[in-house]
Structure 1
């Protein structure tokens, strides 16, 4: 019984924190370098031109999750023109009750929200611009990791071009988590871990644990597929701006 519970705790923490944070680190690192390349080549304002959609989605994701976790939003700007004195591209200023476990835990999700917000937006963009590719992508999420395959279907090149241009803008401006984002996430990390451990303990003594863990596994597969999709776009954009 104890071994089963410890295994379940390791599984839940690995799938809900380990796997997503691996992609969070990769996506943020790659797109941070891309934005630096753009700033070096076109000036700091070039980040607005090449990534304004992503910047707005980035800040809107922070804002939405701050509201979900009951934080008080003092000020926010979805996008702003950077200056020599202030190179901030957007911001969400929020406060919370340090004695409230739910609000403290929310800092983790508020900090990393742009990664999920941009992934979801890119997925929805694919659904409406290249539905054939979207359907093939969704079908691949129903496979196990060891058997996962993706077959590129036929698609409309003009629509694919539209998708790539918009998706590139989202990736460049949205996936770059700032140092403040990571610091904010740290404040809720241990509260989130404690909550997940307690939740796993409860689930482990219920008759629904198998179906719930199966649902968690399927959710993780979806996260992996979508993240790999965005990682590929991010790598291509990084290579393009490295050589232009």
Structure 2
């Protein structure tokens, strides 16, 4: 019974800390696949190059920078190329010491890095070109962090806040601002390449397994409660708030690709 409880507890803790990221990654992957399919069917195979020339380097640099942070050695890097027969437009090959736990755990963060790297660039662009929208977003995040318990009311409050944020992005006065169009174009390019490739997911799983094993050992020796002194609810609200921006712009990009496909018939 102790062994079963130990594995269940460790599995739940791993899910608490990575579940939101995994869910967002899967959703972003579906949106990106459908978006690219719409663009290719409506504008041709090379249409993806338009967004890729901006989005792909950000995707690959996110991998590379995170790999260096976790002590990996960059063997080969290609920030952008014409899609090969597998659709690959860029890559980062890196090496690490398989006996080094820090290196192994780093695989998870290296794998998911494009989501947060793309999100960071979108937020920087938002601050430069649409500062009032960034201010509103930060307000939404702070409101979410004040949530003490999950309830229908708190979910409704967070959902309403994001609807208001979306309305602010597409406010009428923004359509008279050249910075809005520049931001929208760049955000579309980034969000069209923000999701994880099969290779990214494979690498992230290696790190996820090691995180599970570390938590398993901590639980087995009774140190998990003192070391993992994190408010899980606030952590997941923060992660959800950050990832929601990536999802929102991926949804916008998907909607635009769908409209283009419909009118290109």
Tell me whether the two structures share a fold, i.e. TM-score over 0.5. yes
Residues 217 and 10 of structure 1: CA distance in aligned 2, closer, same or farther (over 3 Å): farther
SS of equivalent residue, structure 2 residue 253: helix
Residues 142 and 35 of structure 1: CA distance in aligned 2, closer, same or farther (over 3 Å): same
Whether the 8 Å contact between 2:105 and 2:208 is mirrored in structure 1 is: yes
| Partner deviation per Cα, 1:22-59 (whole Å, 9 max, x = no partner) | 11111121112211222333333321212322111100
Gaps in structure 1 of 5+ consecutive residues: none
Tell me the TM-score normalized by structure 1: 0.83
SS of equivalent residue, structure 2 residue 205: helix
Query: 2 CA distance for matches of 1:72 and 1:127?
Result: 33
Query: 1 CA distance for matches of 2:125 and 2:72?
Result: 29
Q: CA deviation at 1:116?
A: 1.1
Does 2:253 match 1:237? yes
Residues 205 and 72 of structure 1: CA distance in aligned 2, closer, same or farther (over 3 Å): closer
| Partner deviation per Cα, 1:119-143 (whole Å, 9 max, x = no partner) | 1211221122111111111111122
| Structure 2 match to 1:176 | 195
Whether the 8 Å contact between 1:77 and 1:92 is mirrored in structure 2 is: yes
Residues 13 and 50 of structure 1: CA distance in aligned 2, closer, same or farther (over 3 Å): same
Tell me the TM-score normalized by structure 2: 0.77
| Partner deviation per Cα, 1:4-27 (whole Å, 9 max, x = no partner) | x99986774334201111111111
Residues 40 and 156 of structure 1: CA distance in aligned 2, closer, same or farther (over 3 Å): closer
Does 2:239 match 1:223? yes
1:98-117 to 2 correspondences below 5 Å: 98-117=98-117
Q: CA deviation at 1:194?
A: 2.6
Gaps in structure 2 of 5+ consecutive residues: 261-265
| Structure 2 match to 1:192 | 211
Residues 51 and 18 of structure 1: CA distance in aligned 2, closer, same or farther (over 3 Å): same
Whether the 8 Å contact between 2:39 and 2:48 is mirrored in structure 1 is: yes
Q: Considering only aligned residues, what root-mean-square deviation do their CA atoms show, in Å? A: 2.8
Query: 2 CA distance for matches of 1:23 and 1:87?
Result: 22
Q: CA deviation at 1:233?
A: 1.8
| Partner deviation per Cα, 1:132-178 (whole Å, 9 max, x = no partner) | 11111111112226143424456643133222111011111x22321
User: Which is further off, 72-81 or 157-166?
Assistant: 157-166
Count of residue pairs the alignment pairs up: 234
